[in-house]
Structure 1
């Protein structure tokens, strides 16, 4: 690759989807930085525009097409030539086929080919042609790529890639491949290095972190990994995603025993109906999920449980939905990501006919949202008139004099920036906040003492 072609070029990355995509974007950014490129805040200022895509829901395709189309009306780039690139899950799924609908795209790179994005873009600048690379097996060089972290105090740490579960509605195993765990010692060494770089919080990433190590050791070793990472000195540990069928008692014990593991667990249920769960190929029942929740709360009292729930899965009846509604009322989630089912071609669920009218599905969705809002508000009320330690991430979008951070329970926390104080002295620091307001989606209060 003639890397000098990219030196001095400006780039902009827009990321859609999950935390894995965010980390992939950081790696692409780091690679471009190492080749002499400069990040800018707007696509109009960029010689290179990259879209890191998600294909979990149909709206993602529509959004990508709209974003790429809007690039046609951008003013001329600083260098006089703009390269448009599409990466991530849609790129892996559709490959060269994307060019049929996106005639202004120059580069397409799949989820297993991000280590080659620099050379692909350089070739596009050099010959003006289309360049596509969507390998089926992840390039071993991807995990050793440099990356450009969005913040200095938090880091994504991938522990595995791919998924073996093949939920009937999900396209992820087809675009991310099968489970492949990173070496145990490599992960621990990476976190230790992040601690030396003053990172305060990490998020361990995997499509199903609970099965980490099964492909290496013959059995999951996520609990062992949590304990080893906790010994590095990192202050806050989070992780996602966590499949209920693989959440073992030893992992719950490790969460309870390791002080750095935050008291928050995202445990996607998807449906409260055992019948629908079977159709989804989730491989647990309603009763098993509820029993798991009980065991978690016995070991970790006060834990914040969050979830994903799909409404309108093909064939879902009113009785099925009422089972979901009652489960949400029983578990009392601190937050939930609720979705109306989106058909994904190539998945088993896409072949199931469903005569349920959309207005019925929408009504169910709204009823579920109402329950989640009630339980989320109830959970936050439990922090009212307490002191909460918040890791400050920046300021509120609505008020740049209002600090914004995250509690151990993953709640958004607001507190006024002291008069005359420098915001930079607070970002990435932990502050104590006396909570006097507890709303559905945030806490707010006043600072107690200074940042630490």
Structure 2
């Protein structure tokens, strides 16, 4: 009996080691050996390599054992050792998964990657958590408020799991919060079955299968230096949307002192350009009219697998900007990627987010200016208008350098509209320093601004070096003042659009009225128009109804800080719409 119990313990371990021996990458071991024993004699190294390559594995030691596995390992015991699951065991039939997504556009894009991986493994997507066999929260860790919402959602999903105890509902936490708070999640939320970081989504079928086989939590939050999911074709969550996200790079190397992203998303790495173009072509074939290129630092894109054909291959920064890392040499840069993607279909709009101001050399601006289908709306996150705060944040520029870049952008692309990010209440921020942010917002009015009260994150440089010493009530008061300044500037910008004829890409039915459509102009401003039929083209006697995905010439009639309202005039295309001719049409329209 003792012998049998020992075999029961040994055999599962043997299976795991045998599996590892089959998949083990000896070349990596040999590389380590070469480096570790570089001063050893060559014969000894060759002898050691030979032993590694030709030596026996655990399989050889147990191959001739006369004791059969089935004699000593009951089926229910052997089944609980999830590491020995075959890849075929990861595939399921008709298990339903529900996605609960929080945070930035990258999380939406990541969810589409996860859905592609799980659909290939046999899962089905459902629209209600009450129908689901698997509930996955795609989380954000950049601020405290989103995390608090996610904790509340976990409690709610836990209650669903208790009510459906017989159905064995599985709950998974994915994304940045999974990587940042894995230990707290496991300790605080016993109901969580799977924790997967941003670089481990391909492992989800195995992780889920593991929880079904042994009823224990499965965790994989390892960050990767090369994972870009270039070999996964995302499956869109909303197949009716005329816009689609395409992730081109992951991670961030900037190391701003307040930011958790480098610690939850890892180092920068970029997808090969050909895989990006393939995905864009696939989306265009599905009827998508707007592609939004995504990255934590999207314009730092550098495909190291190829070289630039006509743009400089060395890193070039905007004037007056610096980085904490050495310049990266070689590879295809963002300007050339943008140029190539824009040529796939001239009737498809191209946007990108979220950039860093340092990565706007002339090559990027020139491409944006020259391509009609690249939207003339640039996001230039300032974060603060005070030099001391910018230095403390480690942003790599001064107020003066930022304003110089703004001026250069406007000179290069006169019609450009600008958006930005701002943080108030950063460590040690005084009232005088905050005033510099307000004056920057007045100097550079933005059509859109994302404003946040500072939220300290563990692991960041600010957490180690500084104190979060600005009271919460002061932060809230400053946010309110920033919002007033922003709205005044945005209102002036939008007021100037009244009387213009702009090309609007119709996105769908307005939430406020089923009789209206909403869309966006080139500057990413929402435009509301009445539904109905309009001329098929300028001067045409044929009428066509307005539908999502249509380009429509719109006379702007009303505005506020958030949206525009207008009168649809005629159907058009990106390539045929001429703002100058449209202005001539405006006179006849008003006269009529």
Same fold (TM over 0.5): yes
Counterparts of 2:429 and 2:352, CA distance in 1: 31
TM-score (norm 2): 0.72
Counterparts of 1:430 and 1:121, CA distance in 2: 44
Q: Which residue of 300, 307, 311 maps to 1:211?
A: 300
State the Cα RMSD in Å.
Answer: 2.3
Query: CA shift at 1:139, angstroms?
Result: 6.8
C-alpha spacing 1:100/1:229, structure 2 compared with 1 (3 Å): same
C-alpha spacing 1:416/1:295, structure 2 compared with 1 (3 Å): same
- Counterpart of 1:59 in structure 2 is 145
SS at match of 2:246: strand
Counterparts of 1:142 and 1:355, CA distance in 2: 40
- Counterpart of 1:12 in structure 2 is 98
C-alpha spacing 1:300/1:334, structure 2 compared with 1 (3 Å): same
Counterparts of 1:300 and 1:381, CA distance in 2: 20
Q: Which residue of 472, 476, 481 maps to 1:358?
A: 472
Q: Which residue of 173, 187, 195 maps to 1:108?
A: 195
- Counterpart of 1:125 in structure 2 is 212
TM-score (norm 1): 0.93
- Asked whether 1:434 is paired with 2:555, we answer yes
Counterparts of 2:142 and 2:557, CA distance in 1: 38
C-alpha spacing 1:293/1:141, structure 2 compared with 1 (3 Å): closer
Which of the pair has more CA radius of gyration? 2
Counterparts of 1:47 and 1:399, CA distance in 2: 36
- Asked whether 1:81 is paired with 2:168, we answer yes
Query: CA shift at 1:7, angstroms?
Result: 1.9
Is this contact kept in 2: 1:402–1:417, CA < 8 A? yes
- Counterpart of 2:47 in structure 1 is none
Matches within 5 A, 1:8-407: 8-74=94-160, 76=163, 80-137=167-224, 140=227, 142-149=229-236, 150-152=238-240, 153-213=242-302, 219-220=314-315, 221-234=333-346, 235-351=348-464, 352-407=466-521
> Where does the alignment leave 5 or more consecutive residues of structure 2 unmatched?
1-86, 308-312, 316-332, 534-544, 574-592
Counterparts of 2:443 and 2:222, CA distance in 1: 45
Query: CA shift at 1:62, angstroms?
Result: 1.0
Is this contact kept in 2: 1:387–1:434, CA < 8 A? yes
Higher relative contact order, chain-length normalized (CA < 8 Å, sep 6+) = 1
> Where does the alignment leave 5 or more consecutive residues of structure 1 unmatched?
none
Residue-by-residue CA offset, 1:423-450 (whole Å, 9 max, x unaligned): x971233223222121211112232235
Counterparts of 1:377 and 1:446, CA distance in 2: 19
Counterparts of 2:477 and 2:383, CA distance in 1: 17
Moved over 4 A (4+): 2-5, 75-79, 138-141, 214-218
C-alpha spacing 1:451/1:32, structure 2 compared with 1 (3 Å): farther
